[in-house]
Structure 1
Amino acid sequence: MHTFWDNIWKFPKFIISVFIGFFLTAVYPIFELSKNKQINYLIMIILLLVIITLYLILKLMLGYG
């Protein structure tokens, strides 16, 4: 039974490390592209548009619009 509870306590750490690994793997190419100044501006504009779009979608879905 002790092994069971050890595994239960290790599970959240595992999930967090999987999410961090996925995030770093997905974002690493963007950091590589951001070394170029022109592409950096393009990435910032796209990121801003994504944030604004998500904000508007959530605002309309939750009925605040």
Structure 2
Amino acid sequence: MNTFWKNIIKYPRFLISVLIGFFLTTLYPIFKLLARKKNRFFAIIILSLLSTILYYTIRLMLEIN
């Protein structure tokens, strides 16, 4: 029974490490793109365009005027 509780205690740490790994893996290409000054302009335009599309989509889904 003692090993059971030791394993249960490990799951929150595992969950946190998986989430951190997911975000680092997902955001790494964006940070790599922002490293060059030439690509910063395009990255900012793409991110602002995506956030605008997401904003209007959620606004229309929730019927907010």
Task: Please give the TM-score of this superposition, normalised by the length of structure 2.
Answer: 0.76
Greater alpha carbon shift after TM alignment, 6-15 vs 27-36: 6-15
Unpaired segments ≥5 residues, structure 1: none
For residue 45 of structure 1, what is the amino acid of its counterpart?
A: I
Per-residue CA deviation, residues 4-61 of structure 1 (Å, 9 max, x unaligned), is 4444443233222211101101211221221211211111111111111111111111
Count residues with an aligned counterpart: 65
Give, in whole Å, the separation in 2 of the partners of 1:2 and 1:55: 49
Runs of 4 or more, structure 1, over 2 Å off, are 1-13
Q: Which residue matches 2:43?
A: 43
Which SS does the other structure have where 2:35 is aligned? Answer: coil
Q: Which residue matches 1:58?
A: 58
Task: Please give the TM-score of this superposition, normalised by the length of structure 1.
Answer: 0.76
Counting aligned pairs with the same residue, the percent is 51
**RMSD of aligned alpha carbons:** 1.7
